[in-house]
Amino acid sequence: MEIKVINKSNNELPHYATADSAGLDIRAFLNEPVTLKPLERKLIPTGLFLEIPSGFEVQIRPRSGFAFKQGVTVLNSPGTIDADYRGEIGVLLINLSNEDVIIESGERVAQMVVAPFVQAQLKETNALSETSRGDGGFGSTGKN
């Protein structure tokens, strides 16, 4: 699969870190460092514009190391980039730590996963089929 990319940043194109990586690391494209205070959220530009093939989406997800080491994650995770969007890819980050976090231009801030999707046709009804779980929701299947 090929995705056309306009790269207005001075960063390299996103790439897979290993042969079996599912996500491509994406980097911040900033004029100056950005400070994220505790519980603060900011939209971080990437300088990337994508032409995603029809039938696919790009999911923006946190980087595990960034989340674990600095407490920064993607707020609307996973964020969906639709195939018909042509604007700049931005990453909505939030600092969940107790300390300020400084984000530098070129820093890996998230990863993007390319995924196919299915559009469902919803059909209104008055009843749903029965299952052994029924309407059991949050925590209904137990802790273990």
Binding residue positions for substrate: 63-65, 76, 80-82
Contacts of 40-43 with CB under 8 Å at 24 or more apart are 40/94, 40/95, 41/75, 41/92, 41/93, 41/94, 41/95, 42/92, 42/93, 43/90, 43/91, 43/92, 43/93
**CB–CB of 36/42 below 8 Å?**
yes
Going by the annotation, the residues of the binding site are 63-65, 76, 80-82
